[in-house]
Amino acid sequence: MKAFLSIIIIFVSILSLNVNANDNQAPDWTLKTQAGKSISLADYQGKPVILHFWATWCPYCKKLQPKLVELTEKYKNTGIEIVAISFSEDEGAKPQDSITQRGYQFITGVEGEKVANLYGVKGTPTTFFINRSGQVVFKSTSSNINDPKLELAVKEIIKPA
């Protein structure tokens, strides 16, 4: 019963974030990938997006990423995408190579310090869940892969606009 009540409280807190969604418009940005291709949030207009700020040296990011990939696989028929932004990297880091070596295929923007500042990101990992209307529904700074809020946030952002 306690677990059920906790899930209800979490769900209500996510819904309350969505009530003020007009105030939560995700700022647009444009970055380059490691290969030099330009990417922006606008490229994902109309899609639910998990915007994941991370760094190659971050062990907590490495712990969280499999869960984010698992969630996008579970709900892949909804068009959900992970878009990562690497920032505060060590010199010579190759973020997209790190993602590929881990067996993932999501895109990573590099040198994302300005975008991290734009979103008020203080550390890694920080993950934003953005709905089809471009509104931030939930923000997480946790790497707890068992946190039920992650899947609840995904369920919220995949709803039709």
**pLDDT given for residue 76 in this prediction:** 96
**pLDDT given for residue 39 in this prediction:** 98
Backbone angles phi, psi at 75, to 5 degrees: -115, 25
Reported residue count of the chain is 161
Residue 90 to residue 94: CA distance in whole angstroms: 9
Helical axes 59-74 vs 148-157, angle rounded to 10°: 50
Query: Strands 81-86 and 30-33, how do they pair?
Result: unpaired
DSSP code for 25: B
pLDDT tens per residue, the chain (161 residues)? Answer: 554 434 444 444 444 444 344 479 999 999 999 999 999 999 999 999 999 999 999 999 999 999 999 999 999 999 999 999 999 999 999 999 999 999 999 999 999 999 999 999 999 999 999 999 999 999 999 999 999 999 999 999 999 98
**Residues catalogued as catalytic:** 61
* Domain count across the chain: 1
Residue 78 to residue 107: CA distance in whole angstroms: 18
Helical axes 2-19 vs 148-157, angle rounded to 10°: 40
**pLDDT given for residue 1 in this prediction:** 53
CATH number at residue 115: 3.40.30.10
Domain range holding 139?
2-157
Residue 119 to residue 93: CA distance in whole angstroms: 23
**pLDDT given for residue 161 in this prediction:** 83
Quote the pTM value. 0.86
**pLDDT given for residue 10 in this prediction:** 44
